[in-house]
Amino acid sequence: MSAYRLLFFCFAILSFSLGLEAEPTPAKRSATRETRATPEEPGITFNSVHVDGPYIAMTFDDGPSATLTPKLLDLLAAHHIKATFFVIGENVAEHPEIVARAAQEGHEIANHSWSHPNFGKMSDENVRRQLQQTDDAIKNATGKRPTLLRPPYGSITAREKRWIHDEFGYDIILWDVDPYDWKRPGPAVVRARILKETRPGSIVLSHDIHPGTIEAMPSTFDELEAKGFKFVTVSELIRMAAARPSHATPQPGGNVPPSATGPPSPTPSPASSPGG
């Protein structure tokens, strides 16, 4: 009887060993799925750019405003600064002459949706409608279609980035300097935050629909110029992108080289940045 037990025991051990060899471990299977789920994709998202030189891009969201945007345009002209305006389609339709003026004066006009919804919570068809309506409004006002998109609130999924880039040709533009001017902290605070956070290659977020932001800009421009910064549009900044040395370590606030497939920091949420 003991011989049968010994034989059965040996057979069980052999079967168990063969089973282990035949079945991959959960960790290996998981790693395989993860590798396949992250294919390489082109660099289409920027919150800053690695550049050789003191170049920055000032960006203004949510306009045009009938009263404030013309004041900002006057100020930009006085300083010989070119900026990028991420416009709301509804506002473009109401004030096409302001958008036309901005484009004629050398500023870049870019898509910021038709009515400022949260793309990350919308169907593809609704997002597509928001983009197309704004694209058409900008084309009607300026004669030129935009090439950049800033999603409202900075909210956009990785899948949305890819199909939007494929269909519209847009680069997705976020930011690395946010003065939270939508909270209306006052011109002095807006200026101080921009001056503290801005570095070469920065994309500075602000809004031309808040009076305090416009009030902050004269001294902000003066002090940025005194620091040696030079102002370009976002598309110009991207074209200036320099190769980052392979041994370089990420900087706080994170400049992103053009090969990046997404922002290096978490995407701002509507709760933290409703003005984006």
What residues form DSSP beta bridges with 86? 61, 110
51 vs 235: CA distance, rounded Å: 13
Bridge partners of residue 85, in order along the sequence: 60, 109
The one catalytic residue in 61, 135, 176, 208 is 61
Q: For residues 254 and 64, is the Cβ–Cβ distance under 8 A? A: no
**How is residue 216 annotated by DSSP?**
H
- Is position 116 annotated as part of the catalytic site? no
Is 74 designated active site? no
Tracing tokens 């473009």 back to the chain, one arrives at 92
Q: Which is catalytic among the residues 116, 207, 208, 210?
A: 207
Nearest partner of 120 among 132, 130, 110, judged by Cα: 130
Cα first-last separation, the chain: 80
- Cα–Cα distance measured from residue 154 to residue 271, given in angstroms and rounded to the nearest whole number: 11
**Burial group, residue 100, by CB count within 10 angstroms (0-12, 13-18, 19+):** middle
- E-assigned strands of 36-170? 45-46, 55-61, 84-87, 108-111, 148-149
Run of H or E residues at 204: strand 203-207
**In the 8-state DSSP scheme, what is residue 38?**
S
User: Hey, which residues are catalytic here?
Assistant: 61, 207
